[in-house]
Amino acid sequence: MLTRLASTSHEDVYRVEDDDTGLRGFIAIHSTRLGPAAGGLRMRVYDGDTAALEDVLNLSRGMSYKNAAAGLPLGGGKAVIVGDPARDKTPELLRAMGRAINALQGRYWTAEDMGMSPADMAEIARETHFVAGLDHGRHASGDPSPITARGVFNAMRAGAAQVYGSDDLRGRHVAVQGLGHVGWHLCTLLHEAGARLSVADMDSTRVSDAVTAFGAIGVPAHTVHATQADIFAPCAIGGILNARSIPEIQARLVVGAANNQLATPGDADALQARGILYLPDYVANGGGIINVAAEILEITDRSVWVAERLDAMQATMQQILIRAEAENSSPAVIADRMVEDSLLQVAV
């Protein structure tokens, strides 16, 4: 079921297969320098195994940076299942993935991500202890999406203060790409704060629901980044900030919940050159893993611990913004440098 693949960038990478259930996927452990690797399990349709492998490698590396930036004693890992969650997901397939995770003996902890739910995590937990994001149990953390959205919202306010001189989002026009769990919760927070919303999603029903719930304007998914807005919030798949999209972005601030928003590291400099403030995704969207970490670490007073970590993450973002402005550099470059310096100080 587990086949170890050669890798020069990660500690371990595995192909996961189970003929009986049709399971096909990958588990990538980028680093366990700070602790066991932790990161969500996503299920989505990929353009072949090569695309799925590339995604899990990028996502797991991002988790190492995200966990380090959040000050968590966790390394970075990720898992993906190739398939349509609406059609291909079965209890048997999830349990097979649970057995694969269990075979790693705690080197990787999983949780929910795109295409997954707390109920799916419960199914996986029938086969392994190394799963978080559960709805039930002494330290259960449940759906991390609201906490992720809260962290992104806090980061957005910090970015608005720098770009527009105030962290008050009342009247600000925010273009939100992606109305999944996190995107929807973010829209809720923005609506409550008095922001005006333009929204896009591949699912037209979600867009219609957002128009009704938030008084939002629905826009096409392939042009939402070019909306004449104050803030662009990518909350869907990665790679949205690239050579094609960056020249078309009208917003002066980009901050969202999606992972790996930059198609290449150089795209951070391209945004900087256009005078667009980009807040590094793995700092802005770290609330979810903080919520999950409370479960993994068996924190007793979870709500207080999570709130303190969110405040610390906000302070880290402020520090990044201050340094970036002082050095006339992209916050993404500064964030990477800070994380890499901290990792170098950890004994192997």
Catalytic residues: 78
What tokens were used for 87? 């059609």
Q: How far apart are CA 142 and CA 158, in angstroms?
A: 27
Task: Judge contact between 190 and 155, C-beta under 8 A.
Answer: no
In the chain, the amino acid numbered 204 is S
What residue has token string 């802005």? 284
| Residue 266, number of CB atoms within 10 A of its CB | 10
Task: Judge contact between 285 and 291, C-beta under 8 A.
Answer: no
| Residue 138, number of CB atoms within 10 A of its CB | 7
- Nearest Cα neighbor of 218 from 177, 184, 180, 170 is 177
DSSP letter at 141? Answer: -
- To the nearest 10°, the Cα dihedral for 99, 105, 106, 110? -20
Three-state SS for 167?
Answer: coil
Q: How far apart are CA 4 and CA 84, in angstroms?
A: 25
Element (H, E) at 54: helix 49-69
Three-state SS for 229?
Answer: coil
Q: What angle do CA 191, 196, 197 make, to 5 degrees?
A: 85
List 175's β-bridge partners, or say none. Answer: 198, 232
